[in-house]
């Protein structure tokens, strides 16, 4: 995990989401500010913060139908 969005290409490569593959799959993207000083300094705060962000994002996805997920392009949430 990097602190800057300019490292997104490195993260995508590390996760195997590169080039056309990321466009084809419309990879899930979100910005998470994380714990001050980085996760390694306060893993409990980072875990709680990440959990809260994921729960919020899952709640946003909960309003979509199964058919929405089958479409080639998901609506922005």
Cα atoms found within 13 Å of the Cα of residue 33, Cβ hemisphere only:
1
In the prediction, which pLDDT does 45 show? 82
% of the chain with per-residue pLDDT over 90: 0
Tell me the average confidence (pLDDT) per consecutive run of 10 residues in the chain, 77 residues long.
70 60 48 60 82 85 80 60
Length of the chain: 77
Question: What are the residue boundaries of the structural domains of the chain, listed by start?
Answer: 1-31, 33-77
% of the chain with per-residue pLDDT over 70: 49
Instruction: Find the radius of gyration of the CA atoms of the chain.
Output: 15
């Amino acid at each position: 995990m990097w602190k800057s969005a300019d490292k997104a290409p490195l993260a995508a490569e590390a996760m195997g989401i590169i080039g056309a593959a990321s466009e084809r799959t419309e990879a899930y993207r979100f910005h998470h500010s994380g714990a001050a000083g980085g996760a390694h300094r306060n893993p409990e705060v980072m875990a709680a913060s990440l959990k809260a962000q994921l729960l919020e994002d899952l709640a946003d996805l909960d309003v979509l139908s199964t058919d929405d997920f089958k479409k080639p392009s998901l609506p922005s949430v």
